[in-house]
Chains A and B, each alone.
Chain A
Amino acid sequence: EAGVTQSPTHLIKTRGQQATLRCSPISGHTSVYWYQQALGLGLQFLLWYDEGEERNRGNFPPRFSGRQFPNYSSELNVNALELEDSALYLCASSLEGGPGETQYFGPGTRLLVL
C-alpha cells in the first residue's frame, strides 16, 4: 500500500513569492493534515481538511491557506513568503477525521525562502 506522497521534495522561492505544495493521502483516507517543522520549533499544526472542508487551522496567518480536492488530495498555498517560512512542510492523512485517528505522515516538502 502506497503511503502519503508529497511534491515537490524541495522548493526554493524568494521573499514575497507564492509557494504551492501538494499532498496525496493514503488510498481510502479522507482526512489530510498539514504541519510545519521549522528548525528549533518542532512540528506545528497548520491545517486540517476532511471531506473537502477545512475543519481547523492552527495559529498561522491567513497567507497560509489550502484546499482539499474531491479525490481527497490537498494543496497548501503560502502567499507573500517570508524568510521564516523556510521549513519542512509535512502532510499527514488519517482514515477518518474523528478524535484519536492515527495520522500517517509523508516525507515532506522542504521549502527554502531566500
Chain B
Amino acid sequence: QKEVEQDPGPLSVPEGAIVSLNCTYSNSAFQYFMWYRQYSRKGPELLMYTYSSGNKEDGRFTAQVDKSSKYISLFIRDSQPSDSATYLCAMSDHSSNTGKLIFGQGTTLQVKP
C-alpha cells in the first residue's frame, strides 16, 4: 500500500464547476500538507500549504485537512480552462527531519470551455 493515495483521473469538468480533489494517506505522523499544480512539461508550482488539521482559503482555492480520517482535499471554485493541469498532493512529517516530501500520483484535471 502506498503512503499517499490519489485518484489519477482524468477528471473533466465544464468551466465554472466546483472541483474536488482528494488524497488519503496512511502515516499518522504527517503534519505538513501541500498541493502543487503541474502544467504539462513544467515543474510543480506550490498552490496551498497547510499545517496539521483545518481549512485554508486562497482566492478560488480551499484546502482542507482531516487528520482523524487521514484525508486531504483541494476545492477549486469557478474553475477555468487555465486550471487544466495535474494536481499533486504532498506531505511530510515533523518528527523525522528527512527533507523528503511524499507525493500522490497526481490527478489530471481538464476544464472545458
Q: List A residues at the B interface (Cβ < 8 Å).
A: 4, 6, 31, 33, 35, 42-43, 45, 48, 50, 55-56, 58, 90, 97-100, 102-108, 110
Contact = CB atoms under 8 A, between A and B. Distances in A.
Given A99-B93, A99-B94, A100-B92, A55 B43 contact: no
Contact of A48 (B34, B98, B104, B106): B98
A102 B46 contact: yes
B94 A100 contact: yes
A48 B43 CA distance: 18
A97 B100 CA distance: 11
Interface of B: 31-32, 34, 36, 41-46, 49, 51, 88, 90, 92-106
A105 B44 contact: yes
Which residue, of B32, B93, B96, B97, has the highest number of chain A Cβ atoms within 10 A? B97
A58 to B, nearest CB: 7
A45 B101 contact: yes
B100 A58 contact: yes
Nearest to B31: A100
A53 to B, nearest CB: 11
B94 A104 contact: no
A103 B106 CA distance: 17
A42 B104 contact: yes
Contacts of B94: 99-100
A33 B99 CA distance: 8
**Interface hub of B94, B96, B101, B106 (most chain A Cβ within 10 A):** B101
Contact of B99 (A43, A55, A104): A55
